[in-house]
Amino acid sequence: MSRLVYLNGDLVPQEEAKVSVFDHGLLYGDGVFEGIRAYGRRAFKLAEHVSRLYRSAHAIKLEIPLTPAQMVAAVERTLAANTLSEGYIRVVVTRGVGTLGLDPDKCSHPQVIIIADSIVLYPEQFYRQGLVIVTVRTIRNHPAALDPRIKSLNYLNNILAKIEGKNAGVVEALMLNAGGLVAECTGDNIFIVTGGVLRTPPIGAGLLEGITRDTVIDLAREAGTPVREENLTLYDVYNADECFLTGTAAEVIAVVTVDGRTIGTGEPGPVTKDLLERFRALTRGS
């Protein structure tokens, strides 16, 4: 099914949605993006996603040619035009057309692209059975070199880790930071449960501050589950009672094996299942 794509204020068929080969988003990964889920024809946590988009852009000195309110309206317009009840929205802002050089001041107007489509990251059986993942050698970008809170178009760090994971026969992979501490997976944040306490790495460990991550932390606290943001080692993960991942596309999904070690009972645990139910009730009203 052909979709309508928002391109600099116009809605055009996806076959006609084109940018220049001189755009620095293509040439250098110079730009930022957000991935947003839609439930019941509404973009979930839209204000939070737009706020993070503008923080990412500000951090790389990229001036978005829309106000945040105009961006919200553009996302809602694109979603409505594609008549999606549930789906995935990708908002992309590139530096714009420039020269074959790094200087961002030689780029013309930034490009704003919004794509709305359907998405299924994992089959439902994975949510019932849990994931098998491995730790990869590709370490997470050092925060002092490139702050992971900047959701930039350059995802090569994650892609290299994804390749390692696929070579190992798994669909997701765990990344450590330069200090050997747990950071995040290639596309998801990680949580563990130990003795009834929900634990997740802090932002300082070098991870993206996920919107779904924050939502799950809020849901856990509302349910009376203690939550700690603290540094984790692989030892902590291997010996956890439960482990699960969160992300815009993944939502909440259990991990039952890490590096050949069975986590807990080897099945999705009670805290994980409860938080998945709470998340689905929040997003779908079920």
Q: Which residues are catalytic?
A: 151
- DSSP class per residue in 194-219: ETTEEEE--GGGT----HHHHHHHHH
- Kindly report the three-state secondary structure assignment for every residue of 41-81: CEECCHHHHHHHHHHHHHHCCCCCCCCHHHHHHHHHHHHHH
Helices 68-81 and 46-59: crossing angle in degrees, nearest 10, is 130
Residue with tokens 């098998």: 132
How many Å apart are CA 229 and CA 202, to the nearest integer? 5
Residues β-bridged to residue 11: 6
User: Burial of 67 by CB count in 10 Å (0-12 exposed, 13-18 middle, 19+ buried)?
Assistant: exposed
Nearest to 43 by CA among 283, 286, 285, 245: 283
Nearest to 32 by CA among 149, 175, 164: 149
How many Å apart are CA 75 and CA 91, to the nearest integer? 8
Tokens found for residue 93: 């802002």
Nearest to 253 by CA among 160, 189, 179: 189
